[in-house]
Amino acid sequence: MVITEVRIKLMEDNNERLQAFCSVTFDDAFVVRDLKIIEGTKGSFVAMPSRKLTDRCHSCSCKNHLRARFCNQCGSKLDEDRATRDADGRAKLHADIAHPINSACREVIQGAVLKAFQEERERAKQPGYICRYDEYDAGDFDDTYSTLVGELNRGGEGYRTHGPHNNRGTHEVKPYATREDKRSDSFGAGIL
């Protein structure tokens, strides 16, 4: 995979550690958004997109963030020590949504992102600077999407349609019926 684009959204200087958000595009086909550039004790680093971890209330089964002291639904007191801890004893409160599998991949992504971050900082000093972070050209996306769907629908060229599951959860051998096979004059006809 090749990193084909990195977009940076600089944060205002009043943020203590968060320097920027960024998105990384791979092979002009797959984008990962909401990476963060954070100022650490040893310099800037890239944090992968993550979500808050939750658990369920013992009384009502409502989901609550691990930092919550009381249930958002029923108000019951929650165990404050319910988060798992890492080797250093810190509570694990977030989980990565997307992340590199090995350190070499992390270094490639971090290097590209930090290089783009420095370039964006220089551009921001120029008069008339406009952030490109949110500028995704819909025309480019539509063309890419249409091309991909066309490739997937050709069939027999390396892509296989996903068949329905049988009652045991495994795939049936027969392929999906085509639209022509499903046409009828009954209720709901034409929805496909």
Q: Do 3 and 34 fall into the same domain?
A: yes
176 within a domain of the structure (yes/no): no
Distance CA 147, CA 28 (A): 13
Q: Do 148 and 103 fall into the same domain?
A: yes
Per the structure, the count of domains in the chain is 2
Q: What is the pLDDT of residues 103-152, one digit of tens each?
A: 999 999 999 999 999 999 999 999 988 888 877 654 444 555 555 555 55
The residue range of the domain holding 120 is 1-49+97-153
Q: What is the pLDDT of residues 139-156, one digit of tens each?
A: 444 555 555 555 555 554
Q: What is the pLDDT of residues 29-59, one digit of tens each?
A: 999 999 999 999 999 999 999 998 999 998 9
Whose tokens are 């958004």? That residue is 33
Q: What are phi and psi of 148, to 5 degrees?
A: -60, -45
Is the pTM of the predicted complex or chain greater than 0.75?
no
DSSP letter, residue 49: P
Q: Do 148 and 68 fall into the same domain?
A: no
173 within a domain of the structure (yes/no): no
Distance CA 33, CA 51 (A): 13
Contact 103, 96 (CB under 8 A): no
Q: Do 62 and 134 fall into the same domain?
A: no
Contact 100, 109 (CB under 8 A): yes
Contact 44, 64 (CB under 8 A): no
